[in-house]
Amino acid sequence: MLLSSAQTSRHSKLISLGIKSARFNPRPEIARMSSTVSFIDDLKDKLSFLKARFYFKRGEISVLNSPNEFYDTLKDKILKAQDRIFIASLYIGKTQDELIDCIREALKKNAKLKVHVLVDGLRGARESPSKCSVTLVSRLLEDYQDRVDIRLYRTPACVGWKGSILPRRINEGLGLQHMKIYGFDDEVILSGANLSSDYFTNRQDRYYVFHSKPFSDYYYDLHQLISGLSYKVRLATNEQKFSIFWPNQNLAVEPVHDKVKFIKNASTVLRKFLLKEPQPIISGTSLEEEYPTVVYPVSQFTPLFHKRRDESTEKPTILRLISSISKPSMNWTFTAGYFNMFPDIKKGLIATPSRNANVITASPYANGFFESKGVSGNLPDAYLHLSKKFLKNVKRHGKQANIILREWKRGIVNKPGGWSYHAKGLWIGDTDGGDSRPMLTCIGSSNYTRRAYSLDLESNAVILTKDQELRDKMQQELDCLLEHTKEVTLEDFQSDPHRKVSTGVKIATYLLGKRL
């Protein structure tokens, strides 16, 4: 396998930064292939408890690497959609008139097309009655009321006194609809990106495109399920130009009337969805050659389950993946833009025997809250404090030579040419045979935090592959992220006055860590 000139340049740059990138061999080595097969077979066993699994041929999964490529792809697929567009996002930026006009044009030219939009009811209506996600999207109802369905999820934690007395933006700490699912007919884009200008221009995230009708059907059904536990939007003559109501056809009683019954209803439908009969396992040399990639959707719906009967699949899956890192030759990279790693994930990663591991987080200058007004302006320091605690933990376990913390920085956010960082995910590979390209990655909305596993709705996918071309794409994606990183050590925290964190921020981080 030959490297392109761009890959060669990037590979050389990463080596100069001291980052161990993939080692590409012109011909597959027997040892390398044996290692790959053994690792993948072991993981398939560990993930056999998951009911949902989908098989992909070569070329049915593509990877986007930049915000503008993500935006252009969104618009292109919207305009080409014939039957359905289904969107789940935390919010849609209030200036995204072009995106809404694109959907309007698709509806105009195709009388069969139906559009389904799901956003968070707190974040998506934060600025109302001024322009916000809901006022923007509800314009589509003026001409296409029978073909556009707009839903607002509101966490059941917002019912009662908390929802009444907490001010806007603060109440979002109670929980959010955080999934990012962008579906068009038989294709789905899974990402961590929301739909606003920064995510389309200068906010680094991740984006995978899946070409598969069964896979698209699964995420459409998931979208419809959460929509059936959400409020519906209709036009109104009030100041904000819209109102919300709870349709009789919804899958649960309205939470404000009976929160306990709502949770019971939601738990029942979610459990049925997540635990339904699995698809047949593809096995045999010829079939595995034709379908070299298996994808497992995993979700975290903790707020909608009884506390003692949480059937969410993401957290147990991630912990099993980490436990599969069993040899020093295995490498991994973990990243989260908001660095507040779930304790069991942190413990598991530090315990791995890997000799080559990277953790990527946002530099304070690449944090979306850098120099923001109000309390949120302290968040970059809070994550900086957590980064230092992580490094201390690594040192305490004697792993500082094996686990490297890297800060991602590309200019200064909110300054000319500056970018912010919002990517999150996990990659796992094995250097046996001289090839460290990932065989596995996780893509989706989760930040792998305590908040993700207690307050928000999340959806991810685990991609496990023997496809050499897809492994190339996964490595290229990882190289693009690593290219803008710099190693950070405990010595940097001691010598750099800009890394000093106030006592007040440390205390607040301890008290509010579950909501970061």
Which active-site residues does the annotation give?
178, 180, 185
Least Cα distance to 180 among 166, 196, 164 occurs for 196
Contact (CB, 8 A) for 403 and 349: yes
Contact (CB, 8 A) for 44 and 473: no
The C-alpha atoms of residue 419 and residue 86 are separated, in whole angstroms, by 28
Contact (CB, 8 A) for 332 and 428: yes
- DSSP, res 253: -
Contacts of 296 (CB under 8 A, 6+ apart): 47, 50, 52, 53, 54, 317, 461, 462, 464
Contact (CB, 8 A) for 379 and 362: no
Least Cα distance to 444 among 428, 457, 427, 461 occurs for 461
Query: Which residue has 């004697």 as its token pair?
Result: 398
Nearest-5° angle of CA 369, CA 375, CA 378? 55
- From the number of C-beta atoms within 10 Å of its C-beta (0-12, 13-18, 19+), residue 40 rates as buried
The single-letter code of the amino acid at 265 is: N
Output the 3-class SS for 471-512. Answer: HHHHHHHHHHHHCCEEEECHHHHHHCHHHCCCHHHHHHHHHH
Contact (CB, 8 A) for 340 and 384: no
The C-alpha atoms of residue 338 and residue 447 are separated, in whole angstroms, by 7
Output the 3-class SS for 424-485. Answer: EEEEEEECCCCCCCEEEEEEECCCCECCCCCCCEEEEEEEEECCHHHHHHHHHHHHHHHCCE
Angstrom CA distances, 501 to 338, 388, 404, stand at: 17, 10, 21
Task: Give 293-304 as a DSSP string.
Answer: EEEEEEEE-GGG
Output b/e per residue, 87-111; b: 16+ Cβ within 10 A: bbbbbbbbebeebbebbbebbeeee
Contact (CB, 8 A) for 421 and 203: yes
Q: For the CA atoms of the chain, what is the radius of gyration?
A: 23
